[in-house]
Amino acid sequence: MSKGYQVVQSSHALAEFCFNNREIFVEWHNNSNYLCCLCVDKEEELSRLILKLTLYNIKFSVFREPDIGNQITAIAVEPISKEKHKQLFKKLKLTCHD
C-alpha cells in the first residue's frame, strides 16, 4: 500500500475513533495533540495488534476499506502511556519512514 494510501486509511480510522469516542478525543485535543502513524506489512499484523489491544483493554477503532474487499487497512488507538506504546508498537516503523 502506498504511503499516501496509508495516510488516507489512517485518517478514516482516526475519524471513526473520534466520532465514537468524543470524550477521549476532546481530552486528547486539549492535553496532548500527539499523533504517531505507524505501518505494518500485512493485514495479519493488524489483526494481531487488535487482539493485543483488546487484551490490554485499550480502546481503538478499525477501518475496513470497501474498495478492497473490506480488508482491515488501519486502526486508531486511544492515547496510551509511553510504556504501553513501547510494549505494543516497538517493532513497527513510522509510515513516512523508508
Predicted TM-score (pTM) above 0.75 = yes
Given pLDDT bands bounded at 50, 70 and 90, which one contains residue 3? confident
CATH code given to domain 3-94: 3.40.1490.10
- β-pairing, 38-39 with 93-94? antiparallel
pLDDT value for 1 = 79
C-alpha cell read off for 38:
505507524
Residue extents of the structural domains in the chain = 3-94
- The 10s digit of each residue's pLDDT in 60-73 is 999 999 999 999 99
- d(CA 60, CA 21) in angstroms, rounded, equals 9
**Percentage of residues in the chain with pLDDT exceeding 70?**
97
**Percentage of residues in the chain with pLDDT exceeding 90?**
62
